[in-house]
Each structure stands twice: as structure tokens, then as C-alpha cells.
Amino acid sequence: MTVRRFKCRICGNIYSPLEGEPQKGISPGTEFEDLPEDYTCSVCELEEKGKIGKNYFEEWNPTKYVCRNCDYVYDEEMGEPQRGIAPGTRFEDLPANPDDYCCPVCQIDEKTVKEIGKVSKDAFSPLVEEPEKPAESQGSAGSPPS
């Protein structure tokens, strides 16, 4: 299953249907297309950047995923050739079963294995890299409303 995520072009906030936005009454499982027409970016609102609507979001496909337990980063471009995972292997194509795929760093940490067991890919989140800051001289086309 491919998860379609969307990223705010202003602040870099990611909308994921896996999480929804419960604080706004948007349940997990709600696809971006099914968000209310008056949906606005939560982060832009908190940072007082204005009411940034759905038209300021673009589809975002992560290529790096970070283990929330140890901060190991799985990079699709690199794969894990030493473990038989070819470069270019999408994260979503890795086995979900922890006996078939688990975090390579957590699996060698005896304390982690003893306390929480094998750390499967469920413990990974998409790695959000910082958005590029627009140059001061750029303006109108991508600017948020005032």
C-alpha cells in the first residue's frame, strides 16, 4: 500500500492520512482529497503565517525513514546491500514482519532487544528534511496570502 503524503510549501508541515489531524477533528485514514475545503495548515496557523489552504500543499514522497528508537536512517537510494536489500528498494517494499526486517542498529543492541524485542519497520517515520528558505527577492507566485 502506498501512502500519499502532502507537504506545505510554506512551512514544510506534512499531512499524512496515517495520522490525520485529531486536534482538528480529522481522523486517521482521511485522505488529503477528503479534507474539508476550508482545511488550513496547522503549523502555519500556530506560527501566525496566515490561513494557508490546501492549494499550498504538494504531494511529498519520502525517500528516507528514521528509527524513532535509535535514529538510524534507512535511505531508499542506498538500500542495505550488506543485508541483501538492493539500492533503490522502497521502504514500503521492506517486509513488515520483524523476523524478516528490523532496525539494523537496534537488533545488535542487546539491551534494546531484551527490553522491547525486535524493532520492526513500524518504529520508523518518514524523515522530513528542512524546507529550503525562499530568497528575499522572490515574491508573488508562491507567497502565502497576507
Tens of pLDDT, residue by residue over 96-120, are 887 888 999 988 888 888 888 888 8
Cα Rg for the chain, rounded, in angstroms?
Answer: 18
Q: Which one-letter DSSP state was computed for residue 20?
A: -
Which of 51-60, 68-77, 116-125 shows the lowest per-residue confidence on average (mean pLDDT)?
116-125
Architecture of domain 64-126: Single Sheet (2.20)
**What are the two backbone dihedrals, phi and then psi, of residue 9, each rounded to the nearest 5 degrees?**
-70, -15
Q: Does domain 5-61 have CATH number 3.90.1150.10?
A: no
Q: How far apart are CA 11 and CA 57, in angstroms?
A: 10
Is 64-126 the same fold as 5-61? yes
- Residue 146 is predicted with a pLDDT of 52
Nearest to 5 by CA among 30, 42, 24: 30
Provide the pairing of β-strand 14-15 with 5-8: antiparallel
Would you tell me how many other CB atoms lie within 10 Å of the CB of residue 54?
17
Q: How far apart are CA 29 and CA 31, in angstroms?
A: 6
pLDDT at 142 over 60: no
- Residue 59 is predicted with a pLDDT of 94
- Residue 50 is predicted with a pLDDT of 84
- Residue 132 is predicted with a pLDDT of 56
Cell of 143: 507567497
Tens of pLDDT, residue by residue over 69-90, are 999 999 999 999 999 999 999 9
Partners of 40 in the β-ladder: 53
Residue boundaries of the structural domains of the chain:
5-61, 64-126
